[in-house]
Structure 1
Amino acid sequence: MPAFAESALVGAFQLVFWGAVLVCAVTATVLAVRHHSAADPETRASDPVFWDLFMGSAVAVPALLIPTLAAPWSGAVLTALGAGAGVAAYRGSPRILAWHANLRQQKENQPVYTAAQVEHDILLARWSRYELDPACCIDYPAMTDVRRPETSALIKAMREAEQLRSGRHQGYASAVGRFALALSAAEQAAGIPARG
C-alpha cells in the first residue's frame, strides 16, 4: 500500500474516532447540564453544572485539538460536527429527559404495581366464585344481577382495573382499591357475611 493511501486511511480513522469522541462528549455534557439546570431552583446548586461543563470540556477540547494539530482542515469539520451534536442534544433533551424520568418513575412504582397485581388476582378469584360456582350462583343471585347498582358498580370497577393493568398505568393501584371496595359493597348488598 502506498504511503499516501496509508496516511489517508489513518487520517480518516482518526477523524472518525475523534469525531465520535467529540459527539459523545458534547451530547453527554448538554444532557447533563440540561438535567441539572432543570432541577428545582431552591434545591439547585451551581456545582453540578460547573462540573458537568468542566468534565465535558476536558474531553471535548482534546478531541477537537489533537486532530486539528495533525490536519488543520479537520478542525473545521470537527467543530461543525460538535456544534451539530450540541444543537441536536439541546433540542432533543426534553424528550430524552422525560423518557428517563418515566423509566425512573416506573422503577419506583414497580413494587406498588406488583402488589396491586397480586391483590387484583385475589379479587378476581373471589369474584369468579360467584360467577362460576353453581352453589354460589343459587345462594347469591344478586352478585351476577347487573341491574342492581352495587353489582353494576362492581362490574365497572372490575373493567377499569383490568384496562389499567394491561397498560401499566399509574392509576392501576387505586383502580384495584376501588374494585375491592365495590366487591365488598356488592357482597354486603347481596347479604353475604363480611370477611374477617
Structure 2
Amino acid sequence: MAAIAESLFPGAWILLLCGSVLVISVAATVFQVRRRALAVPATEPERSDQLFWDLFLGSAVALPALIIPALTSAWAGLFLAGAAVASGVAAYRGSPRMVAWLSLRRQRREYLPLHTAAQAEHSVLLERWRRYELDPAYCIDYPAMTDVRLPQTAAVIKAMREAEQLRAAGHHGYPPAVERFSRALADAEQAAGIPAAGQ
C-alpha cells in the first residue's frame, strides 16, 4: 500500500505540472492565432508565416507536455488531451473579448496624454473667454464677444458647451472638441476686431 501511495504522489505532481504547461500553452497558442486573425489583415505570405511560427512554438511546448504523461499512463494522456481541447475551445471563444479589452486598454493609454494636453488647453481657453465676460474693460472695448446674436459668438458658446460636456463624460472626442473651441474663439476674436497680440 505504501508503494502505491509513493508512486501516486510523484505521478500526481507530474500530471499537475504537465497539465498546467499543456493547458497554458494551448490556450496561449489559440489566443495568439485568433488575435492575429482578428487584427488588421496582413498579406497572405506574412499571415501564413506568422501562423506557422505560432503553431510551431505552441506545439513545441504542448506536445511534450502531453506525450510524456501519456507514455506513463493512457488515462493521464486522455485526461490531458481533454484538458487541452477544453482550454483551446475556451481560448477560442474568449479571445474576441480579450482582444477587444486589450485594444481598449491600448487606446486609453495612447489617449491619456492627448486628454491631459486638451485639459490644459481647455483651461487656457476658458480663462481667455472669461476676461470678455468678467473684465469690465474688455466688455466695453469688445461688446461683440458677449453678444450671442452674432454667429461667431454663438459658435464659441456652442463649442465651449460641447467641450465641457465631453470633458465631463471622459469621451474620446474631447481633444477635437477643444480644438474646435479654440478655432471658434479665435474666429470670434478676429470678427470682433481684437488684435492678434492681445490674444
Q: Same fold (TM over 0.5)?
A: yes
Alpha-carbon separation, structure 2, partners of 1:9 and 1:156: 73
Match of 1:120 among 102, 110, 122: 122
Contact between 1:22 and 1:82, CA under 8 Å: does it hold in 2? yes
CA distance in 2, matches of 1:30, 1:133: 64
Identity of aligned residues (%): 58
> Aligned-pair RMSD on alpha carbons?
2.8
1:14 lines up with 2:8 in the alignment: no
TM-score, normalised relative to structure 2: 0.79
Q: Please give the secondary structure, in 2, of the residue aligned with 1:192.
A: coil
Equivalent position of 2:89 in the other structure: 87
Q: Quick check: 1:33 aligned with 2:33?
A: yes
Give 3-state SS (helix, strand or coil) of 2:165's partner.
helix
Residue pair 1:15, 1:67 contacting (<8 A) in 2 also: yes
| Partners of 2:35 and 2:96 within 8 A in 1 | no
- 1:100-111 alignment to 2 at 5 Å? 100-111=102-113
Question: What does residue range 113-152 of structure 1 map to in structure 2 within 5 Å?
Answer: 113-152=115-154
- Residue from 187, 190, 196 that aligns with 1:188: 190
Q: CA deviation at 1:180?
A: 0.6
Instruction: Report how many residues are paired.
Output: 195
Compute the displacement of 1:57 (Å). 0.3
Contact kept in structure 2, 1:37 and 1:44, CA below 8 Å: no
Deviation at 1:172, TM superposition (A): 2.7
Deviation readout 1:97-152 (Å, 9 max, x if unpaired): 23323333444445544443332232122123233434434544443444443333
Answering whether residue 177 of structure 2 is matched by residue 175 of structure 1, we say: yes
TM-score (norm 1): 0.80
Give ranges in structure 1 of 5+ residues lacking alignment: none
Compared CA separation, residues 134 and 21, structure 1 to 2 (3 A): farther
1 CA distance for matches of 2:133 and 2:82? 69
Say which is worse superposed, 139-148 or 126-135, in terms of deviation: 139-148
Please tell me the residue identity of whatever aligns with 2:43: E
List gaps (5 residues or longer) in structure 2: none
Structure 1, 21-30 or 123-132: larger mean CA deviation: 123-132
